Amino acid sequence: MIKPLRFWSTLVISVALSLSTFAQADDVKNHRPNNGPLVAKYRQTLLNRFLTYTTYNSQSSNDQDITPEQIETANKLYKEIKQFGFPTTLTEHYYIYVEVPSNVSYPTPVLGFSSHYDTTPDVAGQNIKANVILKYNGEPIVLKNGHVLDFNSDPYLQQMIGKTIITSDGTTMLSGDDKAGVSIMVTLLQTLAENPSIKHGKVQVVITPNEDVGRSADYIEETPYRPDIAYDFDGKVNGEVTVGNFNAEKVIYRVKGVNGHQSHAAENGYRNAWAPACELGAACAKEEWLPNKSTGTQGYAELHHMNMVNGQMSEAELDFRLRSFRQSEIDQWKEYAQKQANQIARKYDVQIERQVFKQYQNVAENIHPQARALANSALIRAGVTPRFQEERAGTTASMLMLKLGNGAYTIFTGQQNAHNFTEWLSEEDMFKSYWVALNMVDEAVALRQPDTPALQLPVERRLHPAEK
Ligand SMILES: [Zn+2]
């Protein structure tokens, strides 16, 4: 059994972090340094910063625009970041924007990084006490309240033997989602501030509230955050880069019959909504659209729920959820469903109204042509094997995509088991992610755009593999 060290006692222990990875040869092909010696200097700072942030209460809430805990955290982060001397803004909606001005004389694409400081309201998340486990020995980790982390529940732990991992004490989550991303962002800003010899183009950072309640894009502003190439730091395992996700729409059909007494329907025109609603639901349940067998990049359409409105038999609501990597499939479904709705409305002499809500968008539908190559190179130079993947869900980047119209890839940060008492963090993965971010800065500055103003760089729609 592991007896986890308490956080405060750990802070004074000099962590014996492996230095072997820093000795990698420079990127010979690109004649660029791999930043190893520089990032090594900030490894302990990054870990200490993360541990400090875990003590900040920052849970968001489904019922509040912003929670007092988020306000307090935003203020602390703003104060800390402002010290680095870059233009920093804390907005009335508690978004933090930082703009690092370019220090080269030629135009380069604007690089953007995002992360979120709020934590989920779904798991206890106040007064978090992080446990640092140095040189993990592979034994099951027993936390308070009977929570156990072991190879069965977390096969990835097997790769952590001998490394540093951080857990909660079991009474709360850890809040690595997304304090890892925020720690990476702030340490990157510190690195750029303290090392003016690093050449970089314009870098924009946004740290948002309310991500874990699905509202991180609600008050995002284009003026302070309009990057050409953007990455969201909120992913999980070492090497993972999320390059695509579902488009998501919610379609509500409201079937409106006529109120009256059933016994005299022939005379008073009473129309029940039940039969037309069921018929519409059934018509839209084509087998190839059901989620039942949907895998990979195959989308689905699902009747999420159907109910009678206000207990009235004359009014019914059908709530459909559409998910697809290709917007064209969603559009086809909507066209088909609308035809059915029109026919059914005529048949039953009822009204059928539709409302469409766009929820999030596939980042691959509008991504900078260099975004993938840049990420690939930044990972490889940090000694990380890139694993590009598609997510059968939404990401923060996909919510920003809907609002800003530009996609971003989601980069791993080392967080594991988010929204759980057994949440944990790989210190090495978080460090590698920070290293990747710094590499991205000098990858972007190498993309010289001598004749093109940065904001007018061509952006092409990346075809999904299945469309090629
Ligand atoms: Zn997150």
Residues forming beta bridges with residue 206, ordered by sequence position: 97, 114
CA of 196 to the centre of ligand 1 (A): 31
Residues of the chain with pLDDT under 70: 1-33, 449-468
Quote the Cα angle for 427-429-432, to 5°.
Answer: 110
Please give the pLDDT value at position 176: 97
Asked if residue 188 and residue 106 are part of one domain, the reply reads: yes
CA of 366 to the centre of ligand 1 (A): 22
Residue 43 located in a structural domain: yes
Asked if residue 90 and residue 177 are part of one domain, the reply reads: yes
Asked if residue 195 and residue 107 are part of one domain, the reply reads: yes
CA of 36 to the centre of ligand 1 (A): 27
- Give the residue from 358, 392, 417 where a domain finishes: 358
Please give the pLDDT value at position 465: 35
Asked if residue 72 and residue 28 are part of one domain, the reply reads: yes
CA of 350 to the centre of ligand 1 (A): 44
CA of 178 to the centre of ligand 1 (A): 5
CA of 442 to the centre of ligand 1 (A): 26
Asked if residue 368 and residue 331 are part of one domain, the reply reads: no
Residue 132 located in a structural domain: yes
CA of 359 to the centre of ligand 1 (A): 17
Instruction: Give Cα separations from 416 to 117, 301, 320, 342, 429 (angstroms).
Output: 16, 30, 31, 48, 10
Asked if residue 261 and residue 240 are part of one domain, the reply reads: no
Please give the pLDDT value at position 223: 87
Backbone CA torsion sign across 185, 190, 193, 195: negative
Kindly give, in sequence order, each residue whose CB lies less than 8 Å from that of residue 82, ignoring residues fewer than 6 positions away: 88
Asked if residue 44 and residue 59 are part of one domain, the reply reads: yes
Residue 391 near residue 325 (C-beta atoms within 8 A): no
Asked if residue 254 and residue 162 are part of one domain, the reply reads: no
20 membership: H or E segment, kind and range: none
- Give the residue from 358, 374, 402 where a domain finishes: 358
Residue 265 located in a structural domain: yes
CA of 116 to the centre of ligand 1 (A): 7
Please give the pLDDT value at position 464: 33
CA of 374 to the centre of ligand 1 (A): 23
Asked if residue 74 and residue 93 are part of one domain, the reply reads: yes
Asked if residue 253 and residue 225 are part of one domain, the reply reads: no
d(CA 435, CA 89): 25
Please give the pLDDT value at position 359: 92
Query: How many Cα atoms are found within 13 Å in the side-chain-facing hemisphere of 280?
Result: 38
CA of 211 to the centre of ligand 1 (A): 7
Boundaries of domain holding 260: 247-358
CA of 460 to the centre of ligand 1 (A): 27
Other Cβ atoms within 10 Å of 122 Cβ, number: 14
CATH at residue 319: 3.30.70.360
CA of 140 to the centre of ligand 1 (A): 26
- Give the residue from 358, 390, 414 where a domain finishes: 358
CA of 42 to the centre of ligand 1 (A): 23
CA of 384 to the centre of ligand 1 (A): 21
Asked if residue 108 and residue 29 are part of one domain, the reply reads: yes
CATH at residue 165: 3.40.630.10
Asked if residue 417 and residue 350 are part of one domain, the reply reads: no
